[in-house]
Structure 1
Amino acid sequence: MKIHIFGASGSGVTTHGRALSAICGYPYIDSDDFFWVPSEPPFTHKREITERNTLLENEVNSLNNWILGGSIVNWTGLKIENFDLVVFLYVPPDVRIERLRKREIERYGEVILRDPIRRKVHEEFIAWAADYDAATGIAGRTLHAHESWLRTLDCPIVEIRGDTSVEERIARILRLIDAQ
């Protein structure tokens, strides 16, 4: 089974992908591992597009079953086809932004609030994430882009909207997997 889980930053994609992986036994593949070159601090150096696409394509093509987490909607030239199931997660913006602020503090510590450069990067990230719903042009990853992409797919899709528990969401996804 080839499952793609995506949504806005802070919507729970990684949490749900890993939880589903633990239940189904399918490897969880995070698109961030291909989009970003490992660095310190992380998520600061984008991988070259052709290399990124080749690495991800090779990974998914080497497996019969997988769960791919993260938005690949705007990945020009990427050739991943025939999803068996696509899961779209949507969480209200206020909930997402609060989650992201907490996650950033847990990930990087208070330095993102004290150091002027790191604070600027943090605030730019939060503004980018908030633009998912506002679509003012800061972010290419928007609700509109995700909903438009969903309409192009020819596979089962589950849209899970709202601030429900991980358990409720996983149960809903598993029902769809079982129905396949």
Structure 2
Amino acid sequence: MRSRRIHVTGASGSGATTLGRALADALALPHHDTDDYFWKPTTPPYREQREVGERLRLMREMFLPRADWVLSGGLGRWGDELIPNFDLVAFLRTPHELRMRRLRAREATHFGEDAVGPGGWRYEETAAFMEWASHYEDGTREGRSLARQEAWLAKLPCPVLRLDGSRPIAELVAEVRCALNG
């Protein structure tokens, strides 16, 4: 039986984690998200990054040796060691305005509307994150950008499935399943 090691990626707010979870559920595979390896568990979250070596060590221990899994999220250059493990990469492109609406809603759901609003304890961090995420398409901020992701995708030895992140998740899952069976 052929392995199913799938990486789902895109900009913040593209729907990569949502698709990754749905795909893992549909295929009865374990789901992992890069944020769980990138960030140390802190309260509040997203305050302290793990060292690259620690991220990769945890991934090697948690899921990389297994035949089947779904990994969602961005890897940047720090995750190039993982490339030989991918059987398929699903890349989501989602319109800017939709991404930003999703991110605002996600922040409010995760931390609370009052926390991310003006005067809230998470307001400054949320504003900085939204500002950073808003520059994905133009690439004028450090970190993930469309140009950097396109360059990364171009060097992958596995198939890359390009998907419209504004489409319903069920349709996207069906398209990935079809690509896996093709």
2:72 equivalent among 69, 72, 75: 69
Aligned residue in 2 for 1:35: 38
Measure, in 1, the Cα distance between the counterparts of 2:88 and 2:79. 21
Measure, in 2, the Cα distance between the counterparts of 1:101 and 1:23. 27
Deviations 1:47-74 (A, max 9, x none): 1221111111222333110001111132
1:157 equivalent among 157, 160, 176: 160
The answer to whether the aligner puts 1:86 opposite 2:89 as a matched pair is: yes
Q: How many residues align?
A: 178
Measure, in 1, the Cα distance between the counterparts of 2:105 and 2:142. 21
Asked if 2 retains the 8 angstrom alpha-carbon contact of 1:160 and 1:169, the reply is yes
Measure, in 1, the Cα distance between the counterparts of 2:39 and 2:65. 21
What is the letter of the counterpart of residue 42 of structure 1?
P
Measure, in 2, the Cα distance between the counterparts of 1:77 and 1:178. 26
1:121 equivalent among 125, 131, 146: 125
Superposition pairs for residues 17-36 of structure 1, below 5 Å?
17-36=20-39
SS of the aligned residue for 2:92 comes to strand
TM-score normalized by the length of structure 1: 0.92
Deviations 1:21-62 (A, max 9, x none): 111011001111100001111111101221111111222333
Range 162-171 or range 151-160, more displaced: 162-171
The answer to whether the aligner puts 1:56 opposite 2:52 as a matched pair is: no
Asked if 1 retains the 8 angstrom alpha-carbon contact of 2:64 and 2:85, the reply is no
Dislocated runs of 4+, deviation >4 Å: none
Range 52-61 or range 64-73, more displaced: 52-61
Superposition pairs for residues 8-19 of structure 1, below 5 Å?
8-19=11-22
Aligned residue in 2 for 1:132: 136
Aligned residue in 1 for 2:171: 168
Aligned residue in 1 for 2:111: 108
Unmatched 5+ stretches in structure 2: none
Asked if 1 retains the 8 angstrom alpha-carbon contact of 2:8 and 2:92, the reply is yes
SS of the aligned residue for 1:47 comes to coil
> Percent same amino acid among aligned pairs?
37
SS of the aligned residue for 1:10 comes to coil
Deviation at 1:116, TM superposition (A): 5.5
The answer to whether the aligner puts 1:6 opposite 2:4 as a matched pair is: no
Asked if 1 retains the 8 angstrom alpha-carbon contact of 2:83 and 2:156, the reply is no
TM-score normalized by the length of structure 2: 0.91
CA RMSD of aligned residues (A): 1.6
Unmatched 5+ stretches in structure 1: none
